[in-house]
Homo-oligomer: A and B are copies of this chain.
Amino acid sequence: MCIERGLKMTGQRRLIARVLSEAEDHPDVEELYRRASALDARVSVATVYRTVRLLEEKGILERRDFGGGRARFDPADRGHHHHLIDVDTGTVIEFADAEHDALARTIARRLGFDLVQLRLEIFGRKAPAKRG
């Protein structure tokens, strides 16, 4: 994840990259800043914003929007996947589904388009256990 392409490897970037790769969730900038600051207080929000934008442009990070007004981030190297958001807790579960993707491609084609990107978000509520 730290293989750079023409960028200077500063302490701040190293730090932010580390926080990102260790994150299992999909943190927003504020959260990234909070975590980074906890490890080394010499980072500013501006740098987090700049780094995150840089990584996005380099294709290392993907910007997501799950509502709430803040952008959330997802490392691009974790493969193609969608999200299931628990409406009660806000927890995000990742999943992949090839059948779904194929279907979307078919729909796009039917409408005369080539699929560029697919965004599937399922908002759900934990189902009550069937027994037990």
A122 is contacted by which of B95, B113, B122, B126 (Cβ under 8 Å)?
B113
Residues of B within 8 A of A111 (CB): 84, 93, 95, 124
Tell me the nearest residue of chain B to A109, going by C-beta.
Answer: B127
Determine if A119 and B116 form an interchain contact, defined as CB atoms under 8 angstroms apart.
no
Q: How many residues of A contact B (CB 8 A)?
A: 32
A65 is contacted by which of B65, B87, B115 (Cβ under 8 Å)?
B65
A103 is contacted by which of B103, B112, B118, B121 (Cβ under 8 Å)?
B103
Q: Is A9 an interface residue (CB 8 A)?
A: no
A: residues with CB less than 8 A from B are 65, 67, 84, 86-87, 93, 95, 97, 99-100, 103-104, 107-109, 111-127
